[in-house]
Amino acid sequence: MQASFRGTYNDGRTAVAHGCAVTLLADALSLQLDSGAALWWPYGTLTLVSDDRAAGRVVVAPDAASDERLRVVGDGALEALTSAVPRLSGHRTTRGFGRSAMVAAAIVAVLAAFWFGYPVIKDGLVAVFPPSWSDRIGREMTADQALFGEPCTGAAGLAALDDLTRRLSANAGLPEPVRVHVRSSDQVNAFAATGGHVVLLNGLIRQAKTSDEVAGVLAHEIGHVKHRHPLKRLIDVAGIQVFVSAISGDVGAVGTTLLMLNYGRRHEAQADRTALDLMGGAGIDVGGLADFFDRMEENTRNRGTFIPFLETHPPLAERSAAIRAHSGNGSVAPALTNNEWQALREVCAGARKPSLQVLPRPLTSS
């Protein structure tokens, strides 16, 4: 099977067609534009726009709401694309379907009826979503070593991080326990997946000046876990596909969808507020999170660095000001001792870096 081919990309706002190299990854399409930009479209939301097989031409979009388009021409490219994403060819994958296929289909149909007929039921779906599915999807979302690098295993660093996580989440009233993973990527990023899985990338730990800053980011991600934002957004973006995938056992299709979730103003503000509560409860000064936001904003402005975690609304300056208003909450000690902090900074020693340098969200959207 052809794993890479040429295509034509259009950003949906101008008429310019960009040549690009398209690579089929395990769960996403990578588009390397000839201009140098990189895009990354998870299979979970990839949408067929038009399909003229007689002419050997297919047009896809990153998701149903997007105006961006990728056009591929040629039988080899078509065949590769549809075998990577069977949904596009009209043939559903049968992997994971067994004797219970009819039952599963019936459940999906009922859920779909609720879904499309009663959007307000969505919160109910989040509430009854089986924890084992949530966990499975979360594991899948965070598994990609080519993207995030190897798991970091420094024992002392992980112990310090686990202890910090316990202190922050002690009285958080979380719907599911938080499990924090560190991966070796140099990207300054962190995210919460479903099932309470939180990933910190080593680039974020290395970029932080104090353990309070890491504690702030961690508290923010725990805030997303508390409010079940990953599952809510996943259901928003991938819709019924989440249920189909979970039932069929083929969660890869929706797994990395999470990486393109950005939460929007309401969810970010909610996670920030929870972070303040959790840090206050753990006796950690919230100023660390504000410091981190400020420095990242400066980096982004000066170098034009694209940092998905920070591509947020409201803007970072506004968020850090709101946080700073709560600073000076009487903390006496940093989040970690010196020894713990040094151990955390070395937690990824020896872990292999990711092989891919692709961006989870299109540059064109910023």
Q: Which is nearer to Zn ion, 142 or 145 (CB)?
A: 142
Torsion of CA 64, 67, 73, 78, to 10 degrees: -20
Q: CB–CB of 245/314 below 8 Å?
A: no
d(CA 282, CA 316): 24
Distance of alpha carbon 241 from alpha carbon 39, whole angstroms: 22
Which helix (H) or strand (E) segment holds residue 288: the answer is helix 287-303
Long-range contacts at 44-53 (CB < 8 A, ≥ 24 apart): 44/238, 44/241, 44/245, 44/253, 44/254, 44/255, 44/256, 44/257, 45/237, 45/238, 45/241, 45/257, 45/260, 46/85, 46/87, 46/88, 48/87, 48/88, 51/88, 53/78
Least Å distance, CB 191 to Zn ion, is 8
User: Whole-number minimum distance, CB 226 to Zn ion, in Å?
Assistant: 12
Our CB check for Zn ion shows the closer of 265 and 352 to be: 265
> Please, which residue, 104 or 192, has the CB nearer to Zn ion?
192
Query: Per CB under 5 A, which region of 110-118, 204-212, 236-244, 266-274 contacts Zn ion?
Result: 266-274
Spatial neighbors of 262 by CB under 8 A, at least 6 apart, are: 308, 311, 312, 361
User: To the nearest whole angstrom, how small is the minimum distance from the Cβ of residue 271 to Zn ion?
Assistant: 5
Residues 26-55 that bind Zn ion (CB under 5 A): none
- Residue ranges in 268-287 that form contacts with Zn ion under rule CB under 5 A: 271
- Which residue do the tokens 């043939």 mark? 91
Which is closer to Zn ion, CB of 8 or CB of 262? Answer: 262
Q: Which two tokens stand for residue 248?
A: 């069929």
- Closer of 72 and 286 to Zn ion (Cβ): 286
> Least distance to Zn ion from the beta carbon of 40, Å?
19
Number of residues that bind Zn ion (CB under 5 A): 1
Structure tokens at 40: 């990354």
- Report in angstroms how near the CB of residue 308 gets to Zn ion at its nearest: 10
Query: Is residue 277 within a helix (H) or strand (E), and if so which, with residue range?
Result: helix 265-281
Count of residues for the chain?
A: 366
Draw the binding track, 220-259, toward Zn ion (x: CB under 5 A; -: no contact). ----------------------------------------
Q: Mask of contacts with Zn ion, 173-212, x by CB under 5 A? A: ----------------------------------------
Cβ at position 220, least distance to Zn ion in Å: 6
Applying CB under 5 A, which part among 40-48, 97-105, 178-186, 265-273 lies near Zn ion?
265-273
Burial class of residue 301 in the structure, from the number of CB atoms within 10 Å of its CB (0-12 exposed, 13-18 middle, 19+ buried): exposed
We find the least distance from the C-beta atom of residue 267 to Zn ion, in angstroms, to be 7
**Smaller CB distance to Zn ion: residue 266 or 301?**
266
When the beta carbons of 61 and 271 are compared against Zn ion, the nearer one is: 271
The distance of Cα 312 from the centroid of its chain, to the nearest Å, equals 13
Cβ proximity to Zn ion: between 88 and 192 the closer is 192
Determine the Cα–Cα distance for residues 120 and 52; give it in Å rounded to an integer.
Answer: 37
In angstroms, what is the minimal distance from the CB of 262 to Zn ion? 8
Stretch that binds Zn ion, among 50-58, 129-137, 243-251, 263-271 (CB under 5 A): 263-271
Residues that bind Zn ion (CB under 5 A): 271
